[in-house]
Amino acid sequence: MQLTIKNLNKTYANGVQALNNVSLTINKGMFGLLGPNGAGKSSLMRTIATLQEADNGTISFQGSEGEINVLEQKDKVRSIVGYLPQEFGVYPKVSAEVLLDHLAVLKGITNKKERKEVVQTLLHKTNLYDKRKKNLGGFSGGMKQRFGIAQALLANPELIIVDEPTAGLDPAERNRFHNLLSELGENTIVILSTHIVDDVKELCTDMAIINKGEVLLQVHPLKAIESLKNNVWRKRIERSEVENYQKRMNVISDRMSAGKPVIHVFSETQPEEGFEIVEADLEDVYFNTITNHQLAAQ
Ligand code: ADP
């Protein structure tokens, strides 16, 4: 099972280049596509899900039915893909069970008995069985997302695309949603697009960082963290000093902590007195990759 994206480009009518020569190889498991807002994540997700066209490039999926040319064989793709969009609209006055049953009919599960079985199984799997009679309008953000997964799973997909799923979820809901996703990643390719570094850190075995339509890095999260080992330093400074440090050092990030900025600096040796070494994490990898790329482009 493999999804191969090669040299994919997309420029919208307004001149924004959302995808710039994107190439990625994605294997079974959870793949994190990490990037800031406007990076091109949704454009890429929608293209893979056959919801929009690319200008050029290729995408191929190698699955149980052999090789599919994703950009050409859209019907075939639709039969193996489950897509959970950023904003999942639901009919507020319909119950989860009724809507899922209806969507199952649309997916072509016409046998009533089979459909009932599929719907019940998915409601159990997404932990919504107890709420199945409740109208979707009364669902919390987390419940809606889980319903979104249930409908995405109707087709028994080999490829699952989840776009910015945890925005607006409380920690418990997020946790439950993560568990569900990682279970799915055991047998399928799950692509998780997000700007939240922790989502990728917790879930993904492989990842790419994307910014301004370009893939900056594809790497195993733990290996990427390992590569920064002993090279990330931290100092608590005054707000007025931030700019000065940025000029003198390779500042990866500045974040507020208890009312004051704490900067992280990339350096092989202690940058100056007062810096302490920190254990690098994925956030350092992320900011370091984006900052370096911006510097290189200047
Ligand atoms: P992300 O999902 O990472 O936030 P998007 O793929 O939504 O990024 O957007 C990438 C860029 O393309 C942004 O600059 C966005 O404003 C622009 N964009 C997205 N969709 C359209 C569209 N339909 N028409 C024009 N520009 C778009």
Helical packing angle, 141-152 and 112-125, nearest 10°: 140
Q: In terms of pTM, does the model score above 0.85?
A: yes
Question: Is residue 111 within 6 Å of ligand 1 at its C-beta?
Answer: no
**CA 103 to the chain's CA centroid:** 24
What confidence score (pLDDT) does residue 108 get? 85
- Return the amino acid letter for 258: A
In this prediction, residue 3 has a pLDDT band, given cuts at 50, 70 and 90, of very high
Strand order in the sheet with 66-69: 17-27, 2-11, 56-63, 66-69
- Is the CB of 85 inside a 6 Å radius of any atom of ligand 1? no
Q: Are 50 and 77 in contact (CB under 8 A)?
A: yes
Rounded to an integer, the average pLDDT of 265-272 is 96
pLDDT at 82 over 80: yes
pLDDT tens readout for residues 147-178: 988 998 987 899 999 988 776 778 888 888 88
Per-residue pLDDT reduced to its tens digit, 42-70: 999 999 999 999 999 999 999 998 999 99
Task: Answer whether residue 13 shows pLDDT above 90.
Answer: yes
How many helices (H) and strands (E) in the chain? 10, 14
pLDDT for the residue 239: 93
What's the gap in Å between 43 CA and the centre of ligand 1? 6
Identify the residue with better confidence: 287 or 87.
Answer: 287
Q: Which residues pair with 85 in a beta bridge?
A: none
> pLDDT for 228-245, tens place per residue?
999 999 999 999 999 999
Cβ of 42 less than 6 Å from ligand 1:
yes
Return the closest-CA partner of residue 203 out of 224, 230, 227, 175. 175
Task: Kindly state the average pLDDT of the residues 174-189.
Answer: 89
pLDDT at 98: 95
The pLDDT value given to residue 236: 96
Q: Residue ranges of the alpha helices (H) in 158-241?
A: 171-184, 197-203, 221-227
pLDDT single digits (tens) 86-115 = 776 778 899 999 999 999 998 888 999 999
Please indicate whether residue 251, judged by its CB atom, sits closer than 6 Å to ligand 1: no
User: What is the distance in A from the centroid of ligand 1 to the CA of 37?
Assistant: 9
- Single out the residue of 1, 42, 30, 4 nearest to residue 213, CA to CA: 42
pLDDT at residue number 42:
94
